[in-house]
Amino acid sequence: MAPASQLSGLIGEPLIIWDFDRTIMDDDSDRWVVVEMGLTQLFNQLRQTLPWNSLMDRMMEELHSQGKTIEDITNCLNRVVLNPHIVSAIKAAHAHGCDLKVLSDANQFFIETILKNHGVYDCFSGIITNPTSVDEEGRLRIFPYHGSALPPHGCDLCPPNLCKGFVLNKIQDPTSPDFKKRVIIYIGDGGGDFCPTLKLGGEDHVMPRKDFPLHRLILKSSTPIKPKVHEWSDGEELSKTLIRLIDLVSPKVETTDW
């Protein structure tokens, strides 16, 4: 790959887009709450009858009916352990001047709570996910990203509630007042990360978790994959790979503080 100075038209530090579940967090945040708060039986009973977002919203209704509070859910999420290499990589990338965003099919409350507890929430310029709110009764509500305010996305690669490719197109829209043409590093693991991978360009990079759905879809794709592909298996490998890529694409030369 050409040095960053030779990447014509690209401006500034790279944009790093992170999936959350099984990427930043080694587990799945929904699964964590369901198991830790004793909802597994009800979850399994309703799994085939409701879309995922509606199902998780129903789980929050159940917790509320049991007298569980937002504080109880927060305490549950605060027990999540993040790989220290992932935390270090987030902090290092932010300190280096990269723009970090989360793009996830989890939900706003779970993600924000976990990131705040580990001291990295402020490293991200945006968290794009299924929105949440707390209603007047104190119940946590979970809504689809593509809800009443957005029309159906029409993408057959993505679940109805969130097309990550749609979001990536918005981020890369050259008519946006905040648009910057810059290298994108996309880190993910799931099938929902395949659609945005197909929208990345030849100057971009995708980091799929090895032997997870995104990695398998890339390997068997009949559609050419334009970005450079860099596999990772655990937090340590992710951190080393990401730091190497930032060093490669960044217009800055000095990386002595890493």
- Residue length of the chain: 258
**Active-site residue identified among 21, 99, 193, 204:** 21
105 labelled ligand-binding: yes
Q: Are 232 and 24 in contact (CB under 8 A)?
A: no
Chain position carrying tokens 């659609």? 195
189 labelled ligand-binding: yes
204 labelled ligand-binding: no
21 labelled ligand-binding: yes
Closest CA to 132 of 112, 160, 152: 112
Chain position carrying tokens 């990269």? 98
**Active-site residue identified among 19, 57, 193, 204:** 19
What six digits make up the tokens of 183? 């290298």
Catalytic residue status for 247:
no
Q: Phi-psi bin for 22: left (phi > 0), alpha (psi -120 to 50), beta?
A: left
Catalytic residue status for 211:
no
Closest CA to 241 of 34, 85, 72, 114: 85
Catalytic residue positions, numbered: 19, 21
Q: Provide the annotated binding site for Mg(2+).
A: 19, 21, 189
Q: Provide the annotated binding site.
A: 19, 21, 30, 105, 189
Q: Provide the annotated binding site for substrate.
A: 30, 105
